[in-house]
Structure formats: structure tokens, C-alpha cells
A and B are shown apart, each in its own frame.
Chain A
Amino acid sequence: MGLFILRRAGVMLLTALCLTFIVFFLTNLFPNLEKLAKTQGDMRMSDEQVISWLDRNGYLQPLPVKYGQWLGILPGWTLEGDDGSIAGRCISPGMDPADAPRFCGVLQGDWGDSTVFKDEVSSIIGTRLGLTGKLMFWVMVLMVPSALLVGVLAGMREGSKLDRSLSTFSIASTATPEYVSGVIFITLFASSATGLKWFKGTATSAAENATFENFFLPVLTISLYGMGYIARMTRASMTEVMTAQYIRTARLKGVSFRNIVIKHALRNALIAPFTVIMLQFPWLLNGVVIVETLFNYKGFGWTLVQAASNNDIELLLACSVVAVFVVLVTQLISDIGYVFLNPRIRIA
């Protein structure tokens, strides 16, 4: 088991390195850098000015060197200006160059500065992740129990009317992406078209003060898309368990249907959905980006969109590290959890 986790952690690290390098490569392509220079400096810069701006800010070094500096395994660049002042990656404005550390990268805990928000990346990511965490928490609270309930009720008696109606509902909910259901919900519950102004169409105020009125629609929109999938998986695993031999034995012994479902079937039926719920996290990340943009909730997804559309390299890298971390950790947890829940499976 220990060896397994160690090996998975090694693969994780390798994946994270590869992915960040790809993001680094794509954001550091010359046209992207040119765009960055023009948005940071002046829109009407000539080509020579762009080159000199990039050179002054250390963007023209070879790619592996820049990547090493970002990681913190190579010393940060320094450059002596014409007037003798020394600028560098690790030298923040107003700092004496002599005091500046030689290495400043992710390994040293320095995530760099955001060019869009003019702030430290780590603090931006921290606050934004907190806000998204709040959103995700309520999504999970709403989505998981209702999806499991729908799945178990549908899978309890395969082919019954209840099964048909609930399965249709789950198919419909997987077929409705967030940007469609969000639009429909806002039209129905938050616009003057129907007159039902039960909820608010934006969740900006929910960042400080989340209430049912301003927070329910985004939560509902994300959970609905994921719910159908989990419910279908739960239903499949429930129908499989209900045909198992030991359920038949229990029925023949005269155990009531209620007790069969609750005491005998449920525990075994919930093993498979656990994996699905864990693997659903990366998908939720997509939903978060769309819903935060749609409802203007300034969380992690919104930040990712801002960073990507402005080519804010260091913020974007931090975002991708977080995203990749979430994906890989949930995969690991789902693998390990599966072994604990299902003693028939052993990891060598």
C-alpha cells in the first residue's frame, strides 16, 4: 500500500511538471508575450520597444531557464540598467539588490506577481479558492445526497414507473450544460419576463454575504449537471446489486423490501458511486468556470478566465497547478478509497 501511494505520488509529480511546462510553453510563445508587453506597457509600442520591454523584464531568456527560475531551481535573473540600478526577478521594487534572495520560485514559496490584479499570486489564489470552496461545499451538499437518492430510488425496482421517470430526469440533467440551465434558471426565477423574482441573477454579493436568494441559483446550476451522471451510475450499481444472490436469499427469508434496500443493498451499491463522485471533481471545475462567469461570482474560475484572457503568465501557472493538483489528488483518493470500501480488491 505504501509503495503504491509512493508510486502514484511520483507519477503525480511527473504529470504536474509536464503540465506546468506545457502551460509555461504556451504562455511564453512570442505572440502571447507581445500581447502581454502591449497590455502592460503601451498599446502603440513598436516592435523594437516590445523587444526591449520583454528583455528588461527577463522574458527573452531561453524557455528552460525561465521555467527553472519559476520552479526555483535556477537563480532568478538580474539585470544592470544603464544608470547602474539592478533589477531582477527576485528583487521587488524598493528592495536593496544585495538583500534579495538568489532563488525565488515555487519551491521557495514565491508564486510571483499577477500582472492583471497587481498583487501577489499566492494571496489572490488563496482568497479566490476560499470563495470557490464555499461554492463547491454547497454544491456537494446539494448534489451528492440528491443524486444518491435519485439513483437508489430508480435502481431499487428496475423498469418500474419510478425508475423510468427518474432515469428520464437524470438523462435530461446530463444533457443540459451549465450555460444552458443557468440561462433558463435566470429567465424563470430572476427576470422580469416571468415576474417571479425569487432569486438574484448575479452572485457577486454572495462573496461577502451568501444568502439563499443570491447563492442558490449558481449552486443549483452546477449540481444539476453533475447530478444526472452520479444518479445514473448509482442506479446502474443498485440494479446490479438488487439482482445478486444474497438479496434473493434475503427475500426468500422473508425480509421486508424496505430492510433489504436499506440494510443489505445500499452499502454495496454505494461503492461504485464513491469513485464517480471523486472523479466528478475535475468536471465540476469546468462547471465552476462557466457558472462563475455567468453569475459573476469572483472565485477561482472567474480568476482563471481573467488570467487566461490577459495572458497573466504566473497567475495562469498557479491556476493550472491548483487545477492539476485537484484532478490528481481526487484520482488518488478515489483509488485508495475504493480499496478500503471494497475489501475484494487488493493493490499489490
Chain B
Amino acid sequence: MEPLSWTGILGPVLNPIFLTAWAVFFLAALAQIILSFIPGTTNIQGNATLTATRGPGDYAMLVVKWSFAVIVATTLAYLIGGILVPGIESKGIIGAVSTRLLPVWIALVATFAFSIAYKRKLGLYGKLFDSPIGMVGFGIVMFWVFTGFCAAFDLIITHDPLTQVSGMKNKVPGTPLAGAEAGDYAYYLLGGDNLARDVFSRMIAGSWEVLKIAPFATVFAFMVGITLGLPAGYYGGRLDTFLSFLANLVLAFPVILLFYLLVTPEIVLTGIPTYMAAVLFLFPIIFLVVLFNSRFYTQPSKRNIYVAITLVVGLWIYLGIAWDADPLGIISLPGNILVVFVSVVFVNSPTVFRIVRGIVLDIRTRDYVAAGQTRGEGAWYIMLWEILPNARGPLIVDFCLRIGYTTILLGTLGFFGLGVSPESPDWGSTINDGRRLLAVFPHPALAPAIALMSLVLGLNLLADGLREESLKD
């Protein structure tokens, strides 16, 4: 069988348009930046109106706009055309990948259609769809989220990410599968790596590895940071000095040294990660219990229900995750994942602590806090129900950025081969595997590298969009 071309039968039509559009776009964008230093001319008309004639800079702007529209249209044509064209040979690699991602596209279109239709009723989330940057970022992030979930259900991947197929070692993208049987996917879409595994499937499966840890670790880091940062900022004094010293202590540690010391099989043996988890994972429970107690302590019946639910569910998950002693035997976390999880939370929470503390120091001087104190509200009620909701803007933005940073950290861990099994398809260790042969076969390392970059970029753009929209209030 012939190896696949990148663009299939669409290529001869679309490729020239695509390349020309990019060339025009770059030239026009450059011209526009240079021409923007020349001010346009304005004329005052007889009827006291001001008109501006289009200068060369404005024409360059039009060209940029249109060439960009052509680029977007051609990209969509590649993706949609790839799905519609029958037969994998005529689809090409891009078309075939796009076809495999069909569930993701459907979910994305549905999310966007729903969100844009109801954007006025959805609060800050809805406002995100007013900012183009935020929308692009949200699109990229949701793309990887859906991909990750689909990968968890074996929907998109074409081959098992761990199976090695003889004769496929370091093959270039689009190589037909050697010795393919009926029912096998006939191609390695993005080629094979140095152990003859499918790069495309590994990249897709890697997105689930990130999705499993990064958001949860960030949530836990936020719980720890908020639970400690609120009293430190609100009470100040000795407590603040002590907690700030601890936070600075952790922050003064070079992250990689900490990872090298903590995330090793030897440390897992000593049980230190378990003890750290036992301490760190208590904070979410404390946070929720205090949250409900401070709000509903005047209505004991309601309070008892909320606190009881939190305690039962929380302690059940806590026993399962931290001590691996779930009485029902459903929840457990393997030791090497736990240590990664704990160290990521440990590294992130001091920064969250500092952010929360800084915001609280600012907010606690406001009038509504003084009003609450005068009414005789409890300290924790003021912290959790008066100060925290008013600090949500910067915290949400930082949350998005921090998931991105956590993704980078997880990649770093994988890159140094810490805490992951050697076969694991996560992006960091795949990049590390591929880098030895980078000068000859770049594709095994390039696919996860671009995937990781796009996810982090999406999160950054999303945070930027959120910041812009939350400042508009």
C-alpha cells in the first residue's frame, strides 16, 4: 500500500490557496505594523464632520483581515472536507485525523452553539463569548477536554498506545500498518516511535493522562491555599508571619530539585507521600465543613445535613485517596500517581496562598467587611461568604493559568522520567523518549510537544479573555 499524503485529494486544490494566503497574511501584517507609524489624514468637511481617507495602512489592514479569513476557511475546508471525502487514501493524513476526531468536533460545535445561544444568561462564562481571544482559548481547551474523555473511552485512538508492531519502528507519518489484519486501522497516521508504537494514539491517550491529574491537583492546591490564605490575611499577626515563612520556604525550593527528591520510588517506599497527602487532602474537607457551618449554623437542621454529607463523602474519598483504605474498595490511587499528585499540589499551593493573602489584605479594609463585623458576623462567615466571593475574579483567572502551569509541571516530571511508568503515553515522557533521535526522526517528539503547547496556550488565552471580561464589570 502507498503511504498516505498529508492532504489527500484535497491537496492539489487547497494547498496553493493555503500557502498563498499565509504568505500574503505575513507580508500584509508586517506592512501594516510598519505603516501604522504613518498617521492617516483627516479632513474637515464643510458641514463640520470629520472624514478620514483610507491610508496605505488601512488597506494593509483589509488585506490582513481577508487573507486571515481565507486561512481559516481553508483550514476548515481541510478538516470538514477530510471528513466528507470517502476512502482513507483520498482523505490524506489531515482528513483521516479529522475523521477520527469526529466525536470531538460534534461535542465542540454543540457546546459553542448552546453557549452562544444562551450567553446572556450564563454570567461570566457567557461573557467569555464576547471576547474573540477568550473564545479561541476556550475552544482549544474544550478540544483537549473532549479528546481526553473520548480517549478514556477508547473512541479516537486507532491502535493501542502500548502495543508495538514489528516493522513500524520510526516510520514517517501516514505509513501503512505492516501486517495489518482485517479490523485493524490500516495506517499509522502520525507515524511510529522508536518502539514501533502509534504516535497518534499515544498523543491522544496522553491528553487523558493530563486531564486526570492537572485540574484536580489545581483544585486541591486552591483549597489548601484558600483555607490558609484567608485567615493569614484576615487575622495577620503571628499566624500570618508563620504561614508566610512556610510558603516562602517552599517557594525558595527549586521545583525540579523538589521533584527529584520527592517523586522517586524510594520515597514512595518510606510512605512520606502518604503522610503529605494525609495532611494536604484534609484541607478540602475542612474548607467545605467550615464553609457550610459558618453559613448555616443558625439553621442547625440544614447545617447538620450539609456537614454530614460533606463529612461522609469527603472522608470516604479521603480514606481512599490518601490512605488507600477505602472501606468499599472503590477509590484508590496507585502510589506513583499519588506522589505526583501530592508534589504538584505541594508546589502550587504556596503561590495560591500568597495570592489569596494579598487579595484579603486589600479587601478586609472595605466597608462591607466592617459592616459585617458590626452586625456581629463570625470571622469565618466574613472570610468565606463576604471576602471570598469578592475575590473570585483574580482567582478564576489564576485558576486557568495554574492549570496550564500544572500541565507544564506534569510534562517536566514526565520529561525527567519521574513518577511515571516507562510505558506511559503522557506527553512529557513521550517527548523525552523522542528527543534522542530528534535530529533524524522528529515526528515522535513533535506530536506531543505541539499538543502540550496548544493546551497551555489555550488555557493562557482563556485566562486572558476571562481577565478582560471580568474587568469590564
Contacts and interface: CB of A to CB of B under 8 A. Distances in A.
Contacts of A327: 251-252, 254
A176 interface: yes
B293 interface: no
A324 B252 CA distance: 6
A319 B446 CA distance: 32
B270 A286 contact: no
Contacts of B411: 177, 179-180
B260 A176 contact: no
A201 B269 contact: no
A201 B264 CA distance: 29
B404 interface: yes
A19 B439 contact: no
Given A183-B445, A323-B254, A27 B456 contact: no
B461 interface: yes
B260 A305 contact: yes
Contact of A177 (B36, B261, B270, B408): B408
B460 interface: yes
Contacts of B441: 193
A179 B33 contact: no
A187 interface: yes
A19 B252 contact: yes
A183 B456 contact: no
Contacts of B428: 179
Interface in B365-419: 404, 408, 411-412, 415-416
Given A31-B266, A162-B36, A285 B434 contact: no
Contacts of A162: 33, 36
A293 B249 contact: no
Contact of A183 (B254, B404, B435): B435
Q: DSSP majority for the B interface?
A: helix
Interface residues of B, number: 53
Given A165-B33, A171-B457, A183-B446, A308 B439 contact: no
A172 B457 contact: yes
B411, B435, B459 interface centre (most CB from chain A within 10 Å): B435
A177 B256 CA distance: 14
A308 B260 contact: yes
Interface in B228-263: 245, 248-249, 251-257, 260-262
A309 B264 CA distance: 9
A189 B459 CA distance: 28
Given A183-B431, A183-B445, A176 B439 contact: no
A248 interface: no
Contact of B252 (A15, A34, A309, A311): A15
B215 interface: no
A319 B32 contact: no
B61 interface: yes
Contacts of A308: 257, 260-261
B56 interface: no
Nearest to B259: A308
Contacts of A187: 438, 442, 445-446
Q: In the A-B complex, list the 6 residue pairs whose CB atoms are closest, starting with the nearest.
A: A308-B260, A31-B266, A187-B442, A175-B457, A175-B456, A323-B254
Interface of B: 29, 32-33, 36, 61, 245, 248-249, 251-257, 260-262, 264, 266-267, 269-270, 272, 404, 408, 411-412, 415-416, 428, 431-432, 434-435, 438-443, 445-446, 449-450, 452-453, 456-457, 459-461, 464
Given A171-B461, A176-B456, 14 more contacts: A15-B252, A18-B249, A22-B253, A26-B261, A26-B262, A35-B266, A162-B36, A175-B457, A186-B435, A186-B439, A192-B440, A193-B440, A304-B257, A311-B266
